[in-house]
Structure 1
Amino acid sequence: MSETTKPNNRLLAALPVKEYKLLLPKLEEISLTHAETIYEPDDVIRHVYFLNRGMAWLLTRVTKGNLLEVGVVGNEGVVGLPVFLGVKTSSNHVIAQGNGTALRIKTKDFLKECERGGSLPKLLQRFTHALLMQTSQTVACTRFHLIKERLACLLLAMHDQTEADKFQITQEFLSNLLGVRREAVSKAATNLQQNGLIGYSRGKVSILNRAGLEAAACCCYSIIKEEYKKLFENSDRS
């Protein structure tokens, strides 16, 4: 990537030009494939990823063989945040959703850039806050909101992050993300489909009525979206 090419990752794009130019030689552009594992629990975090396209699920294991979504990262942030907080290993399964791209940096180089000071650590602090807020909101959502509402939230997040009207995801994986039985996901998806909000066939979801899907979602979607909007307020590149 050249110095004149603006990164699609919003956190990198928010850096002052001089700081981004110093970071750029250490960034490696890579491709991510659908369902690719980025980290498993207890993996040493050897690279940090600034996502350009696509998204990554942050998953925690709740029972043997079952995973639950606790967060999602797209081009507004970074995957590998624990090293910024002084933790060398991942506590989550981190899995790519859809085919995407990222700018990867070695952990030792990432930490050196953070130690340099400037805007990067400040933006990472704000992103950490937003991610923690997202996680806490997801916990509340899991406890209090209907499966149909939660599914609508999840699909809206995928629509935002992948920037595609159609994406690949199975009902089995959706049931893991939501922490419910597959039959419950099937019932919720059928309801959304019958109302003309989505199409679902052979593990592929199509967004047919974005406004209707937003109306079907619980308040958590707008709360989380607003929090990430604050992340980049007053942080334009200079």
Structure 2
Amino acid sequence: MIWADVLCTPGERTRYAYFPTEGFISLLTLTDGSPELEVGMVGHEGMLGVQLVLGVGMAPLRAVVQGSGMAWRIDAGAFRKELKRSPTLQRVLNRYLYVLMAQLTISAGCLRFHQIGPRLARWLLMSQDRAHADSFRVTHEFLAYMLGVRRVGITVAANALQHSGLIAYHRGDLQVLDRRGLEVAACGCYAAEQKAYIDTLR
């Protein structure tokens, strides 16, 4: 997967299922001609194309590679055959469906009710989890695009996190300095998403 690659668009027939082993994918929605907004993220914990598990062949969201990395890719038809052959695979992916539904639901509330700073901290934690690294490249413009806010809002929020010693940011290079502090700064949505994932492992 290469950064900015578009893997699917809404209403398009799903040709492949992707299982990232590195990197991560943003799930974006578009409403009434407004700029796209990130509502979910897929990394090594899940798959892109999970609608195939439900027997649906059309993509509901736009998927864009946000963090470059490797992924396993399988043709949609071959994936369906494997799904029918393996009750274990079906069971695991049903659990992932629950995780993804929880993430989308939590994101809706987060976008509506939480301020930019805590939302930014949550986004950075989610990205770090999937990037498997403390450092990654991201611009204020891109963050504003992902979070659906003005760039000036991202600048203020990022500066506050930097002044608190939680991150270091210079010309697009971002480093998480204090993971625990960033978790405290994030809204409760991050912890809620983590709990949803852990619940499926029990």
Identify which of 175, 178, 183 aligns with 2:147: 178
The whole-number CA distance in structure 2 between the counterparts of 1:158 and 1:170 is: 14
Q: Which residue of structure 1 aligns with residue 73 of structure 2?
A: 104
**Structure number with higher strand proportion:** 1
* Unaligned residue ranges in structure 1 (runs of 5+): 1-31, 234-238
The whole-number CA distance in structure 2 between the counterparts of 1:43 and 1:168 is: 30
Matched residue SS, 1:103: strand
Shift of 1:68: 0.8
Shift of 1:203: 1.9
1:65 to 1:201, Cα distance in 2 relative to 1, 3 A: farther
TM-score (norm 1): 0.81
Matched residue SS, 1:214: helix
What is the one-letter code of the residue matched to 1:102? A
Larger Rg: 1
* Unaligned residue ranges in structure 2 (runs of 5+): none
Shift of 1:62: 2.7
The whole-number CA distance in structure 2 between the counterparts of 1:38 and 1:114 is: 21
Identify which of 39, 53, 72 aligns with 2:8: 39
What is the one-letter code of the residue matched to 2:112? R
Contact 1:98-1:168 at 8 Å conserved across structures: no
Cα deviation digits, residues 188-236 of structure 1 (max 9, x gap): 1111111111111222211111111111011110110121122233xxx
Matched residue SS, 1:189: helix
Equivalenced residue count is 202
Q: Which residue of structure 2 aligns with residue 83 of structure 1?
A: 52
- 1:150 and 2:119 aligned: yes
> Which range is displaced more, 182-191 or 164-173?
164-173
Cα deviation digits, residues 99-120 of structure 1 (max 9, x gap): 2111111100100111124211
> Which range is displaced more, 130-139 or 42-51?
42-51
What is the one-letter code of the residue matched to 2:145? N
TM-score (norm 2): 0.95
Q: Which residue of structure 2 aligns with residue 21 of structure 1?
A: none
The whole-number CA distance in structure 1 between the counterparts of 2:85 and 2:166 is: 48
Q: Which residue of structure 1 aligns with residue 84 of structure 2?
A: 115
1:179 to 1:219, Cα distance in 2 relative to 1, 3 A: same
Contact 1:197-1:209 at 8 Å conserved across structures: yes
Q: Which residue of structure 2 aligns with residue 223 of structure 1?
A: 192
- 1:141 and 2:110 aligned: yes
The whole-number CA distance in structure 1 between the counterparts of 2:163 and 2:101 is: 35
The share of aligned pairs that are identical, in percent, is 40
Shift of 1:65: 5.9
